[in-house]
Amino acid sequence: MLVQAYNLMAHAFLLFLLFPYIITTNIHACKQTERSSLLSFAFTLSSPPLNWTSIDCCRWKGITCDQDGWVTRLLLPSKGLKGGISPSSLANLTHLTHLNLSHNSLYGSLETQFFLSFNQLEILDLSYNHLSGQLPLSLPSINIRTVDLSSNHFFGAIPSSFFQQASNLTSFNVSNNTFTGYVPSSICLQHSSPFLRLLDFSSNVFSGNLAPGLGKCSKLQIFRAGHNNLSGLFPEDIYNATRLEEIALPLNSLHGAISDKIVNLTNLATLDLFHNHFDGELPLNLGKLSKLKFVTLDFNNLEGALPPSLMNCTNLVELRLESNNLEGDISMLDFSRLSQLTKLDLRKNNFTGTIPKSLYSCRSLKAIGLFGNHLEGQIEVEILSLKFLSFLSLGYNRFTNLTGAMKILMSCKSLHALLLSGSFVGEGMPSDDDMVDFHGFQNLRLLGLSYSNLTGQIPMWLSKLKNLEILFLGFNQITGPIPSWLGNLPRLFYISLPNNRLSGEFPQQLCQLPRLLYEPNIASQADKYEFELPVAGSSVSINSNQQFPQQLLPQQKLYFLPGWIVLSNNNISGYIPAEIGRLQGLRKLALNSNNFSGIIPDQISNLKNLEVLDLSTNHLFGIIPSSLASLNFLKEFNASYNNLEGPIPTGTQVQSFNASAFEGNPKLCGAPLPNKCRPIVDMDVDNKNNKDEGNGHHQLPWFYMFVALGFIVGFWGVYVHINMMKRRLRG
């Protein structure tokens, strides 16, 4: 009895203890209005289900409530949400502080009312969606700290009133949209956003000057406005924003000199002004910025010498100055303290001297670009201490001793790209026997040795480069045959040998090049390799990029390169092998200005990806195969100056090329050439062509007859079979 009473009391006491908890959980339960707002938001999404079914919306996935049951956070990033965002439904969630719907597929625009009632909002992240429209007149709340609207389709100007009340704003990212008008650089004026740390306006269509104002952003660390249409001078007051760690304004049209005042930005780590019109000399004291890591000033009009102080920037990781007018003797510079330097790009300037010995002590170096300067001297064996060196571009300088250089570089295991074209002019192709046995260049993917008037033959040691993909040997004085072992190089897909004195025949083995046997996209998917620096800047010729297809210029990605075989302007004779039809991956075949004879093999029409076919100025005879019409991607075709005859295939794409593609073949006739085909003389050829064309039409009745015959035979067979079965069953 006593025990029972005690038990009862204990229970009551327990209940008493739990009571406040029960009440609290009840209070935590979401408010009905919040629930219906959320449901109406979910309702506008087409997929996937949010599984918001339980009563208490505060327990739903992605939802957080406060003590009073108001929804404070709606966090559904990367949930695969699709559908139109509904401003009116969300607008009732007046207590929201965090809204993160980034990385979904939401569309629609932020109508003015979207922001109107969010007066508690602190974090707004709608990045990576398909939202569009213009921005509302102002940010929703004075508490707002982070706004990320990047990677959407917003457009229009950013209203000047937009930041007016956003006094706690620290981060604002609108990159990768299509905003127009001025960059709102007055954002920090009148203390409107004194805490701003990050501003990203890049990849839009902002234009005009950068107005002064950013200097007032005393906390600003990152300022990006690259890839817009900005012009005018760099505003001087930006040098007052002394907390800046990153200035990135690439791909604009800004001009003027980089001021000495930049030394006030003692925190600066990234200075990226790539592809503008900056001129003048580099600030002498630039090296005082000891935190500098990334200096990217390529493609400007900078002049003068490299400031020696730069060699004090021991944190430097990338120094990129390609395509400026810089000059001076670089052998004097002491690179030895730049132990973090991975990329040094001085291509296309006016530097003189030799390769600085001190450079060989920058042990982190992966890429050296010196192409297109006035450097001289030899490659020293000390270069082998650069264990990570993967990209070396030395072309268009006055370096000497190619054999010595190659014998050294062969040991460089990490080397992927070696671009020497236009240097070592007039020397002999290195071909010592010991180079064959050495098995060097084991990782080399790209070798550029053109425009150097090199003499000798294609050297045997190339046959050991099992990773070679791209070979440039054009515009030399190379003699002898094209070696058949080229066809055994397992990764080779780009062969450029024009303007040499190569003789002999087209080796059939070239028709087995493994990388060219497949469709280009299949071959390329296997290889996502990227060079350390863009190759175009150091391609083959200094003033033209004729050896590289134009659309590939900014690429450093190998897998964008097409399959090429270019043998133009040599003395190659014999037939074009029919086996060439196996090279499905080929996009350019240039055999022009050689001594090829025989017919144009029909099998060329198997090269379905071919874009350029140049057979001009040879001794080819016979007809132009009408099957060439099936080359749907063919953009350039030239068969001029041969002994071809008969009608140009009619009604085909081949006919759409200019007459100049066919001239110099006296026996060739029909459009686009002016001479008409004479029926009697060209009877044979005409008949043959007609047959070819006719096949498609005449096939049809035959096809039906066969089907009908098949049906009859089949039916007969079934009939006989059934009868036999019946007989057997009976018997």
Ligand X SMILES: *[C@@H]1O[C@H](CO)[C@@H](O)[C@H](O)[C@H]1NC(C)=O
Kindly state whether residue 61 participates in binding ligand X, applying the rule CB under 6 A: yes
When asked if residue 142 is in the footprint of ligand X (CB under 6 A), the reply is yes
Under the criterion CB under 6 A, does residue 198 sit at the interface with ligand X?
yes
Q: What is the DSSP letter of 344?
A: E
Out of 72, 104, 120, 175, the only residue in the binding site for ligand X (CB under 6 A) is 175
Nearer to ligand X, 80 or 717 (CB): 80
Q: Which is nearer to ligand X, 360 or 596 (CB)?
A: 360
Q: Are 71 and 95 in contact (CB under 8 A)?
A: yes
Q: How far is the C-alpha of 578 from the C-alpha of 484, rounded, in Å?
A: 16
Q: Which is nearer to ligand X, 373 or 609 (CB)?
A: 373
Task: Compute the residue count for the chain.
Answer: 731
Q: Is 236 in the site for ligand X (CB under 6 A)?
A: yes
For residue 417, the tally of other CB atoms under 10 A from its CB is 24
Piece of the chain touching ligand X by CB under 6 A; list 4-12, 142-150, 154-162, 676-684:
142-150
The footprint of ligand X on this chain (CB under 6 A) covers a number of residues equal to 57
Whether residue 572 contacts residue 597, with contact meaning beta carbons closer than 8 Å, is answered with: no
Q: What is the DSSP letter of 132?
A: E
For position 391 contacting ligand X by CB under 6 A, the verdict is no
Chosen residue from 140, 184, 215, 537 binding ligand X by CB under 6 A: 215
Residue 79 in contact with ligand X, rule: CB under 6 A: yes
| Nearest distance from C-beta of residue 538 to ligand X, angstroms | 14
Cα–Cα distance, 323 to 327 (Å, whole number): 11
Query: Considering only 139-147, 620-628, 661-669, 675-683, which stretch makes contact with ligand X by CB under 6 A?
Result: 139-147
Interface with ligand X, residue 211, by CB under 6 A: no
Residues 149-168 that bind ligand X (CB under 6 A): 150-152, 167-168
Least separation in angstroms between CB 177 and ligand X: 8
Backbone angles phi, psi at 164, to 5 degrees: -50, -45
Based on the shown chain and the rule CB under 6 A, indicate whether residue 133 belongs to the binding site for ligand X. Answer: no
Output the smallest distance, CB 264 to ligand X, in A: 4
Q: How far is the CB of 200 from ligand X (least distance, A)?
A: 4
Q: Strand runs (DSSP E) across 253-369, as ranges?
A: 253-257, 270-272, 277-279, 294-296, 303-304, 318-320, 325-329, 343-345, 350-353, 367-369
298 binds ligand X (CB under 6 A): no
User: Among residues 51, 543, 550, 551, which is the contact residue for ligand X, using CB under 6 A?
Assistant: 51
469 binds ligand X (CB under 6 A): no
Is there binding between residue 47 and ligand X (CB under 6 A)? no
Q: Which is nearer to ligand X, 312 or 617 (CB)?
A: 312
Laid out side by side, the sheet with 501-503 consists of 455-457, 477-481, 501-503
Instruction: State yes or no: residue 172 binds ligand X (CB under 6 A).
Output: no
Secondary structure element (H or E) that encloses residue 11, with its range: helix 2-28
Mark the segment that binds ligand X (CB under 6 A) among 43-51, 108-116, 580-588, 643-651: 43-51
Q: Which is nearer to ligand X, 50 or 217 (CB)?
A: 50
- CA distances to 87, 114, 131, 165 from 110, rounded to whole Å, are 7, 6, 8, 19
Residues sharing a CB contact under 8 Å with residue 97, sequence separation 6 or more, in sequence order: 72, 73, 120, 121, 122, 123, 143
What's the rounded Cα separation, in Å, for the pair 163 and 145? 11
In the bound complex, what is the minimum distance in angstroms from residue 549's beta carbon to ligand X? 23
Q: Tell me: does residue 243 bind ligand X (CB under 6 A).
A: no
**Of positions 97, 109, 312, 689, contacts ligand X by CB under 6 A:** 312
Stretch of residues binding ligand X (CB under 6 A), selected from 24-32, 402-410, 504-512, 639-647: 402-410
Q: Which stretch binds ligand X (CB under 6 A): 23-31, 42-50, 562-570, 710-718?
A: 42-50
Output 216 or 588, the one with its CB closest to ligand X.
Answer: 216
As a whole number of Å, the CA-based R_g of the chain is: 36
Residue selected from 309, 340, 411, 508 as contacting ligand X according to rule CB under 6 A:
309
Binding to ligand X by residue 622, rule CB under 6 A?
A: no
Q: What is the dihedral of CA 601, 603, 609, 615, to 10 degrees?
A: 0
Query: Residue 372 class from Cβ within 10 Å (0-12 exposed, 13-18 middle, 19+ buried)?
Result: buried
Beta bridge partners of 107: 84, 130
Which residue lies nearer to ligand X by CB, 255 or 337?
337
What 148-151 contacts at long range (C-beta under 8 Å, 24+ apart), as own/partner pairs, is: 148/102, 148/124, 148/173, 149/124, 149/173, 149/174, 149/177, 150/174, 150/175, 150/176, 150/177, 150/200, 151/127, 151/175, 151/176, 151/177
Q: Is residue 428 involved in binding ligand X (CB under 6 A)?
A: no
Q: Where would I find the H helices in 582-682?
A: none
Instruction: Answer for the pair 607, 589: CB distance below 8 angstroms, yes or no.
Output: yes
Question: What is the DSSP-derived secondary structure letter of residue 578?
Answer: G
Q: What CA–CA distance (Å, rounded) separates 428 from 420?
A: 14
Regarding 666 and contact with ligand X (CB under 6 A), the answer is no
Under the binding rule (CB under 6 A), the answer on residue 541 touching ligand X is no
Q: For ligand X, which stretch binds (CB under 6 A), given 145-153, 484-492, 545-553, 620-628?
A: 145-153
**Which CB sits closer to ligand X, 93 or 600?**
93
Q: Does 97 bind ligand X (CB under 6 A)?
A: no
Angle at 289 between CA 288 and CA 292, to 5 degrees: 140
| Closest chain position to ligand X (CB) | 404
Q: Both tokens of residue 521?
A: 């996209």
**Distance of alpha carbon 260 from alpha carbon 266, whole angstroms:** 12
CB count, 10 Å around CB of 335? 21
204 near ligand X, judged by CB under 6 A: no
Q: Among 465, 420, 462, which residue's Cα sits nearest to residue 442?
A: 465
Q: For ligand X, which stretch binds (CB under 6 A), given 49-57, 360-368, 439-447, 695-703?
A: 49-57
Q: Does 609 bind ligand X (CB under 6 A)?
A: no
Give the nearer residue to ligand X in terms of CB position, either 488 or 541. 541
* Residue 186 within binding range of ligand X, rule CB under 6 A: no
Q: Is 240 in the site for ligand X (CB under 6 A)?
A: yes
Nearest distance, CB of residue 272 and ligand X, angstroms: 12
Quick one: which of 28, 29, 31, 40 contacts ligand X (CB under 6 A)? Answer: 40
**Which of 428, 432, 465, 474 has its CA nearest to residue 446?**
465
325 touching ligand X, by CB under 6 A: yes
Measuring CA to CA, how many Å separate 356 from each of 215, 285, 351? Answer: 39, 21, 12
Q: CB nearer to ligand X: give 422 or 649.
A: 422
224 or 343: CB nearest ligand X: 224
11 lines the binding site for ligand X (CB under 6 A): no
Is 644 an interacting residue with respect to ligand X (CB under 6 A)? Answer: no
CB count within 10 Å of CB 198 equals 19
Cα–Cα separations (whole angstroms), residue 681 to 648, 668, 669: 15, 12, 11
Q: Which is nearer to ligand X, 4 or 51 (CB)?
A: 51
453 binds ligand X (CB under 6 A): yes
How far is Cα 457 from Cα 483, in angstroms, rounded to an integer? 9
Residues in contact with ligand X by CB under 6 A are 36-37, 40, 48-51, 61, 77-79, 89, 92, 100, 102, 123, 125, 127-128, 142-143, 146, 148, 150-152, 167-168, 173, 175-176, 198, 200, 215, 222, 224, 236-237, 239-240, 261, 264, 287, 308-309, 312, 325, 350, 378, 381, 401, 404, 407-408, 425, 451, 453
